[in-house]
A and B are shown apart, each in its own frame.
Chain A
Amino acid sequence: MSTRKLSLKDKYRILTRDLEWEYSYRDYREIFKQEAFEGIKITDWSKWEDPFRLTMDAYWKYQAEKEKKLYAIFDAFAQNNGQQNVTDARYVNAIKLFLTGVSPLEYQAYNGFAHVGRQFGGVGARVACQMQSLDELRHVQTQIHAMSHYNKFFDGFQDFTHMHDRVWYLSVPKSFFDDARSAGPFEFMVAIGFSFEYVLTNLLFVPFMSGAAYNGDMATVTFGFSAQSDEARHMTLGLEIIKFLLEQHPDNVPVVQRWINKWLWRGTRVLTLVAMMMDYMLPNKVMSWKESFEVYFEEAASALFKDLARYGIEMPRYAETAILEKEHVSHQAWSIFYNYTHAAAFHTWMPDDKEMDWLSEKYPDTFDKYYRARFEHWRELERAGERYYNPTLPMLCQTCQIPMGFTEMDNPTLTAYRQSVYQGERYNFCSDGCKDIFDHEPEKYVQAWLPVHQIFQGNCGGPDIEDVLGDYYRINLGVDNMDFHGSPDEARWNAWHNLQPAEDKLKQAS
């Protein structure tokens, strides 16, 4: 018997696509209950182009090889106390933000892709989503394992899942993903598969991993390299879903356009945390937030949307505002966190002279004009022993949940402030983008669990704010929070390296 050679495409068709059959004992709509309610029209799932044609045996083989190498590095890192080799202990705060803010999103992605990996009627799309779900589980677990050793030597990692569900700034990424997962399966794919994993991944995943590479963090950067090929697969899936939806029916175009508008704005608001991380938390800087925004958003996204124009898709609505904000968001966000560091599970600090000069150089139009004086003033206060902490609770944007600290782009000294009234109640927003998102689905966004409201309503313990922070958030007060200078993290670091504490240096200088 002669054996015919099968092409990769044929093989994948036979081994995956052909497993499907036409149901006759039960109705298709009983089995795929969620396919129709969003108003997306799918006429033919067989038109789905499989973005990567992986069979399970090949998946196991590649992934097992990667895992083996990755865990060998983790073991070596722990055995050699690699945490001593990072640039300086301030850096570790960047990965505290990652473990508490981003890793739980990987978990949500694992949940969300399993959900759509069950709900789509096309087997090709289902299997691709299932593999992404499995990859996302890999990412959350390998991140936990990568940070596990840091957790033994630094404060602020230890209660990351508890904090993610409660702490005020972590409700920004959490509500973002809750929003996507509570949407229908197609919106989830536009939100996460396309907007987040395709358009914005280079502004989230890459900056953290490059930050690790630039700051001697071998555990995190090795994870980054190991996850790179997974991320590449996720990007091709994100692009395929968009093309598929747009090609299936012209009625899908306006729906998809609205989702793209919404999710790119939602996404850029979450990226505020990354912006401040890049500009302020990395002792050894990779590039400025502004530069990376120009490369990865302005250049890459304009090429992408040029390509999508043939389907009738336009540049997302708030892209122009996002582009103007690249000059400001990192400084504004760092100001907010510097103000509220007593309520955070990581440390902040004021940049030193060299770092201020770097910011002036990277932000010639804004840093000296709007931010330097404020930061120098705060530094003076700290030197005088009066480190500034803001004792009030901030008002949060109803949509993105970030404290209202962003400004108008035509007047960067004026805080932006928008309102909507829904069923007699007034709601506040940081921007036109967030207001429009609310106005389109007010019944969804009024449900938001806003941390500050919840504190005032007594749902987070009390009566004092210290009770909320200590008992409800489980922040170890005086240990996990407050300025980096004077923290136990700093003291341990100095002891490992026989360094003089900053306080002593200050005393000697004065």
Chain B
Amino acid sequence: MTIEIRTATLEPVRNTYEHIKRRFGDKPASRYQEGSYDLAPENNFHYRPLWQPDKLLNDTSRTAVVMEDWYAYRDPRQFYYGTYVQARAKLQEVTESNYAFFDKRGLADRMDDEVKEKIVRCLVPLRHAELAANMNNVSCTAYGTATVLTQAFLYNGMDRLAIAQYLSRIGLLLDGNSGDCLARAKEYWTTDPAWQGMRRYVENTLTLEDWFEIYIAQDVVLDTLVYDLIYRQFDQVITEAGGSDLAMLTEFMQEWYKDNSRWVDATLKTTLAESDHNRQLVGKWVAEWREKAATDLAPLAEIAVGEDAINASLEVLNKRLAKAGL
């Protein structure tokens, strides 16, 4: 049996906004579509920015990448603000209960000091690198073109701040909130020779002007290497050394990385599919940053995992790039 509530139906005069109709046809549109397409101002800017007088306010020439239609991009997750915060709130809830469990059971006490020190030396300093990732992605929001891209960069940027905060909480869990672990981790980040290549790479990315190059240097090259190196290879090392409980605290990063990669890959693919110009340009950036990263990350890879670790991560990067068509 079904029951049927009768409602008055009114005939709409149109199905969606005109700019959505022009793109997707005259039919009801999704909230992702209405909230993402053709929103950024494109015409008739009144004043040139005092901070960059050779450009318009929203200027497509802030990158050397050329797209006939910047709205050719699409986030496979279809994140607009509402779906984004709800997806992250869900992930956050699981994470919170993991952290609470770790704390309540005193799992830090079950790790031997050597393992703990290794976490402080090899994992916790990444909180600073994640802050740079936050700044880099926010740059892409501020200077990038088309809402389909700029909103995803902001989600990524805020996610990185969250990861920096989760990494900080790992430090706090290991020392009972004394702050010693974080102070030591910061010391490693600023003075430990194993970290200096990484820090140099990161500081270099912060001075880049071309926002698409920032995306390549940060989200494609560096993230692929670091997330493989730390959250896969280093995670294994710690597990083998009896620190498998750490996995509860890094689950967020692993889940987040899977989710974010879908968007990173789709963005790369759309760019490369557009033209040979883009393919050459992106190919050049990837080669340059890959080479820098291979050198800059090698010392960290060695102390965190072992001699061959950087090569294993580079192999993962190669596969990813090949899949995208490079």
- A interface, CB within 8 angstroms of B: 1-6, 14-16, 18-26, 30-31, 33-34, 37, 55-57, 59-61, 63-65, 67-68, 70-71, 79-81, 84, 104, 107-108, 110-111, 114-115, 117-118, 123, 126-127, 130-131, 133-134, 137-138, 140-142, 144-145, 148, 151-155, 157-162, 164-166, 171, 174-175, 178-179, 181-185, 444-445, 447-449, 454, 474, 488, 492, 496
Within 8 A of A (CB), among B10-54: 10, 12-19, 31, 34-35, 38-51
Q: How far is the CA of A142 from the CA of B82 in the complex (A)?
A: 8
Binds A, one of B177-185, B238-246, B258-266: B177-185
CB distance from A254 to the nearest CB of B (A): 18
Binds A, one of B168-176, B277-285, B305-313, B314-322: B168-176
CB distance from B23 to the nearest CB of A (A): 12
Q: How far is the CA of A231 from the CA of B296 in the complex (A)?
A: 44
Chain B residues positioned under 8 Å from A111 (CB to CB): 40, 57-58, 141-142, 150
Most central of A18, A68, A84, A492 by chain B CB within 10 Å: A18
- A6, A25, A67, A123: the one contacting B177 at CB < 8 Å is A6
CB distance from B56 to the nearest CB of A (A): 9
Chain A residues positioned under 8 Å from B47 (CB to CB): 175, 178-179, 182, 444-445, 447-448
- A1, A22, A182: the one contacting B106 at CB < 8 Å is A1
Known A60-B85, A178-B57: A3·B177 in contact at CB below 8 Å: yes
Binds A, one of B87-95, B221-229, B267-275, B286-294: B87-95
Chain A residues positioned under 8 Å from B169 (CB to CB): 15
15 A-B contacts (beta carbon < 8 Å): A3-B103, A23-B203, A25-B203, A37-B51, A55-B162, A64-B85, A64-B88, A107-B40, A107-B41, A111-B141, A131-B158, A133-B138, A152-B16, A158-B17, A178-B47
Chain A residues positioned under 8 Å from B88 (CB to CB): 60, 64
CB distance from A455 to the nearest CB of B (A): 12
Contact A127 B161 (CB under 8 A): yes
- B15, B34, B86: the one contacting A68 at CB < 8 Å is B86
Residue of B nearest to A158 (CB): B18
Contact B131 A141 (CB under 8 A): no
Contact A166 B43 (CB under 8 A): yes
Within 8 A of A (CB), among B147-191: 147, 150-151, 154, 157-159, 161-162, 164-166, 168-169, 172, 175-179, 182, 186, 189-190
Contact B86 A67 (CB under 8 A): yes
CB distance from B170 to the nearest CB of A (A): 11
Q: How far is the CA of A15 from the CA of B169 in the complex (A)?
A: 8
Known A20-B131, A148-B16: A114·B138 in contact at CB below 8 Å: yes
Q: How far is the CA of A115 from the CA of B49 in the complex (A)?
A: 12
Chain B residues positioned under 8 Å from A445 (CB to CB): 47
Q: Is B121 an interface residue (CB 8 A)?
A: no
Q: Is B139 an interface residue (CB 8 A)?
A: yes
Residue of B nearest to A151 (CB): B17
CB distance from A399 to the nearest CB of B (A): 11
Chain A residues positioned under 8 Å from B172 (CB to CB): 6, 14
Contact B34 A148 (CB under 8 A): yes
- B31, B168, B182: the one contacting A145 at CB < 8 Å is B31
Q: Is B204 an interface residue (CB 8 A)?
A: yes
Q: How far is the CA of A184 from the CA of B109 in the complex (A)?
A: 51
Closest 9 CB pairs of A and B: A64-B89, A56-B162, A152-B12, A141-B35, A114-B142, A19-B131, A4-B177, A178-B46, A115-B142
Known A21-B128, A21-B186: A182·B43 in contact at CB below 8 Å: no
Q: How far is the CA of A62 from the CA of B238 in the complex (A)?
A: 34
Q: How far is the CA of A14 from the CA of B124 in the complex (A)?
A: 13
Contact A67 B85 (CB under 8 A): yes
CB distance from B151 to the nearest CB of A (A): 6
Residue of A nearest to B58 (CB): A111
Contact A4 B178 (CB under 8 A): yes
**Interface size class of chain B, counting residues whose CB lies under 8 Å from the partner chain:** 35 or more
Q: How far is the CA of A81 from the CA of B11 in the complex (A)?
A: 11
Q: Is B3 an interface residue (CB 8 A)?
A: no
Chain B residues positioned under 8 Å from A492 (CB to CB): 13
Chain A residues positioned under 8 Å from B165 (CB to CB): 15-16, 55-57
Residue of B nearest to A449 (CB): B44
Chain B residues positioned under 8 Å from A34 (CB to CB): 51
Q: How far is the CA of A65 from the CA of B142 in the complex (A)?
A: 27
Contact B81 A474 (CB under 8 A): no
Q: Is B77 an interface residue (CB 8 A)?
A: no
CB distance from B211 to the nearest CB of A (A): 10
Chain B residues positioned under 8 Å from A110 (CB to CB): 154
Chain A residues positioned under 8 Å from B95 (CB to CB): 57
Contact B182 A56 (CB under 8 A): no
What 1/0 mask marks residues of chain B from 234 to 252 whose CB sits below 8 Å from any chain A CB?
0000000000000000000
CB distance from B120 to the nearest CB of A (A): 15
Contact B34 A18 (CB under 8 A): no
Q: Is B2 an interface residue (CB 8 A)?
A: no
Query: Could you list 5 further interchain pairs (A-B, Cβ under 8 angstroms) beyond the known A57-B95, A108-B41?
Result: A14-B168, A14-B172, A26-B203, A56-B159, A454-B44
Q: Is B74 an interface residue (CB 8 A)?
A: no
What 1/0 mask marks residues of chain B from 91 to 126 whose CB sits below 8 Å from any chain A CB?
011011000000100101100000000000000000
Known A148-B16, A158-B14, A158-B18: A3·B46 in contact at CB below 8 Å: no
Chain A residues positioned under 8 Å from B166 (CB to CB): 57
Known A4-B178, A137-B154: A26·B48 in contact at CB below 8 Å: no
Chain B residues positioned under 8 Å from A70 (CB to CB): 82
Q: Is B80 an interface residue (CB 8 A)?
A: yes
Contact B204 A161 (CB under 8 A): no
Contact A151 B44 (CB under 8 A): no
Contact A152 B13 (CB under 8 A): yes
Contact B154 A133 (CB under 8 A): yes
Q: How far is the CA of A55 from the CA of B88 in the complex (A)?
A: 13
CB distance from B81 to the nearest CB of A (A): 4
Contact B182 A118 (CB under 8 A): no
Residue of A nearest to B165 (CB): A15
Contact A117 B15 (CB under 8 A): no
Known A19-B127, A19-B128, A117-B138: A4·B176 in contact at CB below 8 Å: yes
Contact B17 A159 (CB under 8 A): yes
Contact A152 B82 (CB under 8 A): no
Q: How far is the CA of A65 from the CA of B89 in the complex (A)?
A: 9
Chain A residues positioned under 8 Å from B58 (CB to CB): 111
Chain B residues positioned under 8 Å from A184 (CB to CB): 50-51
Chain A residues positioned under 8 Å from B1 (CB to CB): none
- B161, B176, B206: the one contacting A1 at CB < 8 Å is B176
Chain B residues positioned under 8 Å from A115 (CB to CB): 142-143
Chain B residues positioned under 8 Å from A148 (CB to CB): 16-17, 31, 34
Residue of A nearest to B49 (CB): A182
Chain A residues positioned under 8 Å from B38 (CB to CB): 161-162
CB distance from B109 to the nearest CB of A (A): 6
Residue of A nearest to B10 (CB): A81
Q: How far is the CA of A284 from the CA of B95 in the complex (A)?
A: 49
Chain A residues positioned under 8 Å from B109 (CB to CB): 1
Q: How far is the CA of A127 from the CA of B82 in the complex (A)?
A: 20
Chain A residues positioned under 8 Å from B147 (CB to CB): 107
Q: How far is the CA of A331 from the CA of B186 in the complex (A)?
A: 62
Q: How far is the CA of A153 from the CA of B10 in the complex (A)?
A: 9
Contact A183 B19 (CB under 8 A): no
Residue of A nearest to B32 (CB): A141
Contact A161 B49 (CB under 8 A): no
